[in-house]
Amino acid sequence: VNELKVTQSQLIQSEKLASLGELTAGIAHEIQNPLNFVNNFSEVSIELLEELKEAQADNKRQVGLEKELFDDLEQNLTKINFHGKRAESIVKNMLQHSRASRGGRQLTDINILADEYMHLAYHGLRAKDKNFTAVLKTSLDKNIPPIDAVPQDIGRVMLNIFNNAFYALAQKRKHDPDFQPIVSVVTLANENKYAEIKIRDNGDGIPEHIKGKIMQPFFTTKPTGEGTGLGLSLSYDIIVNGYGGRIDIDSVRDEFTEFVFTIPYS
């Protein structure tokens, strides 16, 4: 019995590390965008400062030109600040996700998590397959209040479901080069004080005979070595047992798969 518990613990840790690996690959690509903005606007700002020095050194100083340069410089610094904070937010999420111990609950913006983890999962797959592209759609309900939750818990659930969605789309595209992958995430403030998150892909769908099995521990449809079969099981445990929510699956063969999970809020 003890050996079984140790093995289960090791497999769960392996799944978490695999999930972290996917996240890290996504982080590396996602963070590049704001960093590019920071670098570019910094370089332009240095050039503006040089122009400003020249303008001030000119005996025929042009007040209008100086004001224009100051305005441009202010705009650039505002953009640098915005994209710097964006990069900081991404790194913060990564650190939260990678902590070995459970963090404390805190007021969490579900919409921010949904948007960021969709992009992180997408870039995580693109790190492996640069030819893969997909249309990403979001419809986020601003009426959802901050939810008392452990952000890395909810992030892990989203990452697992998004990873599965993009994996399914990548597999379908291998057999149909003209196929246009689409992933969408919709959030809704349910009237019963539940936040509802819907993650949908237009892949091959889930066969009816395995719908009831995919939440079971160690069940996976991926080839050997590509999945432990614990991702959805852990997700189910987090949402249902950890937060008193629920996870439902809707899927039509050859058309779509949609995971819907709900989390109560006060």
- The answer on pLDDT for 59 being more than 90 is no
- The answer on pLDDT for 36 being more than 70 is yes
146-196 pLDDT tens trace: 999 988 889 888 988 998 899 899 999 988 889 999 999 999 998 889 999
pTM of the prediction? 0.64
Quote the pLDDT of residue 101: 42
The winner for highest mean pLDDT among 20-29, 103-112, 214-223 is 103-112
Higher pLDDT, 98 or 58: 58
Beta 135-140 vs 182-190: how paired, if at all? parallel
- The answer on pLDDT for 83 being more than 60 is yes
| Distance, CA of 170 to CA of 48 (rounded, Å) | 45
Identity of residue 150: V
Paired strand residues for 189: 195
Edge-first strand listing for the sheet containing 246-252:
135-140, 182-190, 194-201, 256-264, 246-252
Cα end-to-end span (Å), the chain = 40
CA proximity to 249, closest of 236, 230, 238:
236
Quote the pLDDT of residue 29: 61
Identity of residue 119: H
Quote the pLDDT of residue 225: 45
Annotate 38-102 with DSSP letters as a single string. HHHHHHHHHHHHHHHHHHHHSSS--HHHHHHHHHHHHHHHHHHHHHHHHHHHHHHHHHHHH-SSP
CB atoms within 10 A of CB 71: 11
How much is the mean pLDDT over the chain?
80
Query: Which stretch of 25-29, 66-70, 129-133, 150-154 has the lowest confidence by average pLDDT?
Result: 25-29
| Distance, CA of 53 to CA of 65 (rounded, Å) | 12
Percentage of residues in the chain with pLDDT exceeding 90? Answer: 29
